[in-house]
Amino acid sequence: MFPGQGSQFPGMAKDIYEKSSLGKELLEQANEILGFRITDVMFEGSEEELKQTRITQPAIFIHSVVLAKCLGSSFTPQMVAGHSLGEFSALASNGTLSYEDALRLVYARSMAMQKACELNPSTMAAILGLEDSVVERICSETEGIVVAANYNCPGQLVISGENAAVDLACQKLTEAGAKRAIKLPVGGAFHSPLMEPARLELERAIEATAFHQPTCPVYQNVTASAVIDPLEIQKNLVAQLTAPVLWTQTMQQMLADGASEVIEVGPGKVLQGLFKKVDRELQVSSAEIVG
């Protein structure tokens, strides 16, 4: 499992840089590809600096994929998935994309999303304690653009849209019995129709990138099902920017397909917590660097 935006923290990947010569080499390679020293921000930057979309997304991707590569022969997943941005990390880890190409795509995606956020002032909010169908219905009845964006786990759904529409939906959802409606500290309305300009930009970048046959299936956000066809992976990756992240459904499908142990590869432990809400008995852990 590969985490998405929100898992960043000051000092991220510094231990990998210090413990592993391969890790150091790959982190320095990321600096060269991006044309600036993102490792300086990752190791020494403030939470505020790390929150900028153009920094957050490549930083989490780099941390996750470099960690996976440092695991070497002990990294042999039978299936992979990533939450939103994490899908790119998953694809760089199962051979669909090279590290270099995936990083370039992630950076292009982050810049396109930042631009789309500046075009349309927008936001996201986490809704706790309501059935998905209730949240979907209230969003559809609310004036303006507001949609269900991230199905994180049963009873936790993130909505996304125009500022006023999200505020109004939060009010209605609280009245409908939501335990909490929490505005999120994000740059804009990810996984909503407001990301359409970014989707078009990303589509061009993805079409110009080589996608290879993966070593194991990837469970994609848009379909919540296992995919191995590179053309289908490309299509779903483009659609992901404006479509909801079906993470609850992804977890349920992976468990139904036989997942018995889940390892989170990257910063934080968010995805382990979400998996535990679906199956309390499931074995979960964080990937750790050897040596």
Rounded Cα distance between 70 and 118, Å, is 37
Q: What count of residues does the chain have? A: 291
* Percent of the chain's residues with pLDDT above 70: 99
For the chain, the C-alpha Rg in angstroms (whole number) is 18
**If pLDDT is split at 50, 70 and 90, which confidence band does 185 have?**
confident
pLDDT for 290 beyond 90: no
- Residue 126: beta bridge partners? 158, 182
Residue 128 sits at the vertex; the CA angle it makes with 59 and 1, to the nearest 5 degrees, is 35
Amino acid at 164: A
Superfamily of chain region 14-118+193-286: Malonyl-Coenzyme A Acyl Carrier Protein, domain 2 (3.40.366.10)
Q: Can you read off the two tokens belonging to residue 170?
A: 């939060």
Q: Would residue 7 show up in a list of annotated catalytic residues for this protein?
A: no
**If pLDDT is split at 50, 70 and 90, which confidence band does 187 have?**
confident
- Name the catalytic one among 7, 84, 110, 160: 84
What is residue 46's predicted lDDT score, i.e. its pLDDT?
95
Q: Would residue 84 show up in a list of annotated catalytic residues for this protein?
A: yes
- Whether 259 and 281 have beta carbons less than 8 Å apart is answered as no
- Whether 226 and 217 have beta carbons less than 8 Å apart is answered as yes
What does the pLDDT average to over 202-225? 97
Phi, psi of 183, deg, nearest 5: -65, 140
| CATH 3.30.70.250 residue ranges for the chain | 121-183
Q: Can you read off the two tokens belonging to residue 123?
A: 């936001």
**If pLDDT is split at 50, 70 and 90, which confidence band does 291 have?**
low
**If pLDDT is split at 50, 70 and 90, which confidence band does 35 have?**
very high
Say what the alpha-carbon torsion angle 231, 229, 238, 241 is, to the nearest 10 degrees. 180
Q: Which residues of 94-113 are buried (b: 16+ CB within 10 A; e: fewer)?
A: bebbebebbbbbbbbbbbbb
**If pLDDT is split at 50, 70 and 90, which confidence band does 186 have?**
confident
Per residue in 133-155, pLDDT tens? 999 999 999 999 999 999 999 99
| CATH 3.40.366.10 residue ranges for the chain | 14-118+193-286
Proportion of the chain in helix, strand, coil states, percent, rounded to 5:
50, 15, 35
Least confident of 86-95, 112-121, 195-204, 234-243: 112-121
What does the pLDDT average to over 156-170? 97
pLDDT for 270 beyond 80: yes
Give CATH for domain 121-183: 3.30.70.250
What does the pLDDT average to over 227-252? 97
- The pTM of the full predicted model, rounded to 2 decimals, is 0.96
